[in-house]
Structures are given as structure tokens and as C-alpha cells.
């Protein structure tokens, strides 16, 4: 009795080249597909595919991200700009300052002349300066600290040295618009009691004494400095013969020769 071959077995035998396969038989693609679909169900094929051993595949994903910190970048850029801008501004200011200084120097020379500038420079060493005050042009001697006035003298030669300052001399003003010294040419600035040779307390015109009618030699700087020194020494003391009042505080006396006030 001939054994009947299972259709699946027969198909496998034909595919694997068993002797029962007739190599002269031509099977077209459609016929082969229909045969497979008829003899092998979709469920069997799916199960077969799932059971096939698969190679393990390792997948490595490397992600490199480069992201700009815009806020930090802008901040740094702003700082660099600010630094450079400040450097440029400082340089421009310095150049501008130098130019303005040169222009001012030229302007001063053209306006008031080099002789007046020389005078101001020389008297500044003696603590005198040039001041415009109350529509007047003044040379001003300043005392820092204020100068205590202790001594008073008479034309007879008697000198009184008071136990404490009668007043404190803060400054002396000499009006250069006056060609010669007269009443109102010299003003005294004081604190404490009134200077005996000054018409007012704290600030007022002084009595010129023997300085009356003395020329103010603005064109001769050496002579002007000599006159300013004489004015300083005059009001650092008190001429008691022509004083507005005579101090009554305790004093000691001595004798010396004095020039008379007129």
C-alpha cells in the first residue's frame, strides 16, 4: 500500500530538493505564492517568524547640544562696550579739558594782560588773591586761621600788649580801582570785637592813617608787594591815637619809636 505524503511535507521536500522533486517542472511565481498561501496558513507563518532567533542589536544614541547663554553673552558684551566707551569718554574729556585750559589761558592773557597774571601769581605766595566784590576789583589778604590782634600803639611810642586779642583779623581788602589810598579803599573783615581802626564790626571801611593818599602802583609789581606788606603790618596792630574806641581790657606796656599817622 502506498503511503500518502502530507501536503506540507511534500512542499518542503520540493523546496529542499528531495529526489521526488522534478527539476523539469517549472513553477511560476504566482503559482508558488498560491501554493504557499494554501498550504501554509498566516498564523503558522507568523509563529514561525516570531520563533526565529534574532541577533541582539545595541543602539547607542549620543546627543550633543550646544546652546548659547544669550543673557550672559549680552551682559558680557554690554560690560565690554561700557568699559571701552568709558575709556574713550575719559580720553575725549581729557583732550577737551586741555583745549579749554589753553583757550582760557589765551583768553585771560588777551583780556587782562600778562602783567596782571604775573601780579596774581606773585602775591598768591603772600596769601593775597584777586577778588571782584561789590563792583570793585580787590586784592584780598586772607588769614587762616584768623589773626589775633593784641598790640596797640600811640604816636608817643607807647605800645600796649593786651592780655587777650581785641579782635581777630580774617581778611584785608584793597580796592585796585582807586589810584591812591583814601577812606573806603581798605576794608577789614574781623570776628569778635570791632577792630579799633575799623568803622564797623565784622566788616567795614578802615581808617587809612599814614597810608592816606599813597599811590597803588599796579604797574610796578615789586612796589605793589611792598605796599601790601605795609598794609598788612598796619592792621595787624591798632593805632590808638586815631581809634574809634580804646580797648579797656588788661594790658602791659613797652616803649618804641612809631611813625605818625596823618
Q: Residue 222 has what pLDDT?
A: 92
Least confident of 78-82, 123-127, 171-175: 78-82
DSSP class per residue in 78-97: HHHHHHHHHHHHHHHHHHHH
Beta strands, E only, 57-166 = 128-133, 136-149, 151-153, 158-162
Angle between helices 70-124 and 221-235 (to 10 degrees): 90
Average pLDDT over residues 216-222: 88
Q: Is the pLDDT of residue 52 over 50?
A: yes
* Contacts (Cβ under 8 Å, ≥6 apart) of 127: 141, 142, 143, 144
Q: Is the pLDDT of residue 55 over 50?
A: yes
Cα separation, 187 vs 170, whole angstroms: 11
Q: Residue 23 has what pLDDT?
A: 46
Q: Residue 262 has what pLDDT?
A: 37
Q: Is the pLDDT of residue 259 over 60?
A: no
Average pLDDT over residues 154-177: 93
Q: How confident is the model at residue 21 (pLDDT cuts 50, 70, 90)?
A: very low
- What does the domain layout of the chain look like in residue ranges? 7-43, 92-118, 128-255
Least confident of 41-45, 75-79, 143-147: 41-45
Q: Residue 219 has what pLDDT?
A: 82
Average pLDDT over residues 205-217: 90
Q: Residue 204 has what pLDDT?
A: 93
Q: Is the pLDDT of residue 224 over 70?
A: yes
Amino acid at each position: 500500500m502506498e503511503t500518502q505524503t502530507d501536503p506540507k511535507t511534500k512542499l518542503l521536500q520540493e523546496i529542499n530538493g528531495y529526489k521526488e522533486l522534478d527539476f523539469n517542472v517549472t513553477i511560476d511565481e504566482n503559482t508558488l505564492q498560491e501554493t504557499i498561501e494554501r498550504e501554509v496558513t498566516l498564523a503558522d507563518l507568523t509563529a514561525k517568524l516570531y520563533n526565529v532567533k534574532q541577533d541582539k542589536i545595541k543602539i547607542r544614541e549620543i546627543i550633543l547640544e550646544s546652546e548659547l547663554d544669550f543673557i550672559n553673552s549680552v551682559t558680557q558684551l554690554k560690560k565690554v562696550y561700557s568699559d571701552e566707551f568709558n575709556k574713550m569718554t575719559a580720553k575725549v574729556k581729557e583732550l577737551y579739558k586741555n583745549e579749554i585750559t589753553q583757550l582760557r589761558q589765551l583768553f585771560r592773557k588777551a583780556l587782562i594782560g600778562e602783567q596782571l597774571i604775573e601780579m596774581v601769581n606773585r602775591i598768591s605766595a603772600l596769601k593775597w588773591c584777586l577778588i571782584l566784590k561789590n563792583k570793585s576789583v580787590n586784592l584780598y589778604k586772607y588769614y587762616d586761621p584768623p589773626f589775633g590782634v593784641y598790640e596797640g600803639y600811640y604816636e608817643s611810642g607807647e605800645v600796649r600788649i593786651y592780655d587777650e586779642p581785641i579782635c581777630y583779623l580774617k581778611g584785608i581788602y584793597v580796592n585796585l580801582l582807586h589810584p591812591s589810598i583814601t577812606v573806603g579803599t581798605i576794608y577789614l573783615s574781623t570776628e569778635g570785637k570791632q577792630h579799633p581802626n575799623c568803622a564797623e564790626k565784622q566788616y567795614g571801611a578802615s581808617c587809612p592813617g599814614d597810608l592816606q593818599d599813597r599811590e597803588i602802583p599796579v604797574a610796578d609789581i615789586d612796589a605793589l608787594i611792598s605796599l601790601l606788606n605795609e598794609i598788612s603790618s598796619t592792621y595787624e596792630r591798632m593805632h590808638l591815637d586815631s581809634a574809634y574806641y580804646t580797648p579797656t581790657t588788661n594790658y602791659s606796656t613797652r616803649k618804641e619809636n612809631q611813625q605818625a599817622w596823618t
